[in-house]
Amino acid sequence: MATIDDYQQQLTEMRRNGFTSRQLLQFLEDNNVLTSERTLHRRFSAWAVKKNAVPLTDDQITQVKDLYRYRLLSDTEIALGR
């Protein structure tokens, strides 16, 4: 019988590609592995898997730096697009 650990590589790749926990649990269920969302998150912690962060382009990084330095906007104001 397969376990969640048997799908570590696939789950890690899927997580990094932006799949939701619900989609990952469905993937496991489709492969006859029943587990909880909490167990899934514990495994990701144990495997040192982080959520996918969208990489910023150099232009975006420069734009944020300019907003901070020259307009003196806070992180929150920058995030809200002020």
How far apart are the C-alpha atoms of 71 and 81, rounded to whole Å?
12
What pLDDT digit, counting tens, does each position of 38-71 carry?
A: 999 999 999 988 776 566 788 888 887 777 666 7
* Percent of the chain topping pLDDT 90: 48
User: What does pTM read for this prediction?
Assistant: 0.62
Torsion of CA 12, 14, 20, 25, to 10 degrees: -70
DSSP 49: P
Paired tokens of 81: 């697009």
DSSP 24: H
Where is 81: in which H helix or E strand?
none
Torsion sign (Cα): 48, 50, 55, 56: negative
